[in-house]
Amino acid sequence: MTKAKGNPGFRSALPIVLFLLVGFAAPLIGVIMYSFMPPRTFSILQSPTIENYTTLFEGTSYISFLWSLGLAVVTVALLALVCYPVAYGLVRVFGRWSTLLTLLFTIPLFVSENIRLYGWVLFLIKNGVLLGSLQSLFGIEMDSILFTLGSIVLGMVYVYLPFMLFPMTLGVAMVPNDTRDAAYDLGASRWQVFKEVELPLSMPGIMIGSLLTFVLAVGAIAEAKVLGGQRIIPITHDIEIAFTYSQNWPLGAALSVLLMLVVGALVLTVLRRFDLDAILGRR
Amino acid sequence: MRDRQQRTRHALLTAWTIAVLAFVYIPGVTILLASLTSSRYFTFPISRWGLDWWSKTFNSLEVRQLLWTSVSIALVVTVVAVSIGFFAALAFARYQWKGRTLFQRLVLLPIFFPQSVLGLALLLWFNAVGVDLSWKTAAFAHLVWIIPVVTLVISIQVYSFDPALEEAAFDLGASRWQVFREVTLPVLFPGIFSGSLFAFLLSWGNFPLSLFTTGADSTVPEYLYAKMVAGYTPGVPVLGTVSTFGAALLLLGGYALILFIRRRREAADG
């Protein structure tokens, strides 16, 4: 603690560090400890066992794992394609409209995702807004895409859009105009400028956005339930079931640990490669 | 030639952005429409318009209790998150100190973490420590995720802050408290303000953390989820609309306030 004297950085960091130790690090250690307890017990003071992990590796939960990872990858890829033109426009094209547009993209972020997903249900359902309009205006009858894989992907792309868009916008803003102009002056084509200048220089923002979206999408729980009609069981659902219906906390903890390992390894690898000051500090 | 290409490209970009924006607002508009029907089930086009479900929902004691719980959590979260996040942002972006890079990564970790798993981890933790679950534990859970977000939001403002301002004030004989009150706080105010908005609204809309940590209390998003899974009731669109428009008003109002203050300050300076 003597170090704290005359070190304003350390002193300012202290409250949040203490809070995260109690509120983040300790619970995670707790989960790890629970995952080594005998199945269907509720205390962390028993002799450790690896039974939960052997159960998992012999069981079928890897299917849920693959679904979760697969859905997350698809979501990230689609969002990158959807968001890049918008981010580019916000930074380079829309000028003073950008602030208003950014604000409009921000608002839904603050509405509980359940409500927004439910909006999609009412939009897509038979006799809902989409099919009801089609029928009454054009007399077209169609099957609802609700409760299919497509509607789950739609819901995930929808919910995580801002998390891709905003880091991406920061990334695109990192490309200096001079560099682009220089590339044009040297005779680069539009496509070359994009491939050789814009994409590599905005990569930090794109990567951060992808990482954030991926992590959130792997942890998604409501989309598959609300829009997918439980057709697909993601890993988070398995975890929830272990904790609630089957009252098997240690098994749920073991599943959580596996998920944490995948996510943690990915986050640490990607974050290590970027200078956060450069991404956030630009103004 | 390049000009015309560029114009086409910009038109395409604009069209695409408007399409994405429409996509973003489809569910909100749908929910609003659904709340305005007086029939028991939602069918479109709406045959009987009416506000019946609005009055029914607002006269329900249960709903008032829910709104109150959600607001209490959000207020507590805002105050605590901004107080801690403000100093964390200084450590994050302003001071050069040993361990800063490590600190930055630590602060980001909770943001880059699946929230449902975090909620469960906290549930286990509260159980192990022997804390009873209530809206207070939910506020704690929200904080684990929201303090880092607020730290990031304020940090962006701190990065553009020139430390020379503070030093000048010190040189002119201001005390530490005076410098903080007269220089640091006003300059960083926009960041603190958006940080508070983020804190309040993210807590207001949060579901995955609340789900596991509220115990017997219930927040608006949790209630809506329970109702949704159980089947359709028109109270859901009503509460959803309220929640959506409340958030939008708060955000637009806050933004207008910032613009207003900035104008006035500019007028005072010029």
A27-31, A93-97, A265-269 — which one is most confidently predicted on average?
Answer: A27-31
**Chain B residues touching A281 at Cβ < 8 A:** 93, 159
Query: Taking Cα atoms as reference points, which of B215, B206, B246 lies closest to residue A221?
Result: B206
Question: What DSSP designation does A125 have?
Answer: S
How far apart, in whole angstroms, are the C-alpha atoms of residue A253 and residue B146?
Answer: 24
Percent of chain A residues topping a pLDDT of 70: 97
Confidence band for B127, pLDDT divided at 50, 70 and 90: confident
The answer to whether residue B175 scores a pLDDT higher than 90 is no
Average pLDDT of the segment spanning A89-102: 86
Chain A residue closest in CA terms to B86: A12
* ipTM for the predicted complex: 0.84
Which one has a higher pLDDT value, B261 or A183? A183
Interface test with A, best of B112, B233, B242 (most A CBs within 10 A): B112
Q: Is A85 on the interface with B (CB under 8 A)?
A: yes
How far apart, in whole angstroms, are the C-alpha atoms of residue A89 and residue A81?
Answer: 14
**Chain B residues touching A85 at Cβ < 8 A:** 12-13, 16-17
Mean pLDDT (chain A) is 85
- The reply to whether residue B121 touches residue A127, judged by beta carbons under 8 angstroms, is no
Interface of A with B in 231-260 (CB under 8 A): 236, 239-240, 243, 249, 252-253, 256, 259-260
**Chain B residues touching A256 at Cβ < 8 A:** 117, 120-121
Average pLDDT of the segment spanning B9-17: 91
Interface test with A, best of B25, B120, B145, B196 (most A CBs within 10 A): B120
Alpha carbon B258 to its chain's center: 17
Average pLDDT of the segment spanning B84-106: 90
Interface of A with B in 63-82 (CB under 8 A): 82
**Chain A residues touching B10 at Cβ < 8 A:** 89, 93
Cβ-Cβ contacts under 8 Å for A90 (sequence gap 6 or more) = A98, A101, A102, A169, A172, B17
Interface test with A, best of B116, B160, B188, B244 (most A CBs within 10 A): B116
Give the tens place of pLDDT for each residue, A98-129: 888 888 888 877 777 888 888 888 888 877 77
Q: Is A119 on the interface with B (CB under 8 A)?
A: yes
Interface of A with B in 164-183 (CB under 8 A): none
Structure tokens at B155: 């940090």
- The reply to whether residue B13 touches residue A16, judged by beta carbons under 8 angstroms, is no
Confidence band for A221, pLDDT divided at 50, 70 and 90: confident
Confidence band for A281, pLDDT divided at 50, 70 and 90: low
Taking a C-beta distance cutoff of 8 angstroms, is the pair B208, B222 a contact?
Answer: no
Average pLDDT of the segment spanning B4-33: 89
A244-247 long-range CB contacts below 8 Å, 24 or more apart? A247/A40
Give the tens place of pLDDT for each residue, B99-126: 888 899 889 889 888 888 899 899 989 9
The answer to whether residue A223 scores a pLDDT higher than 60 is yes
The answer to whether residue A89 scores a pLDDT higher than 70 is yes
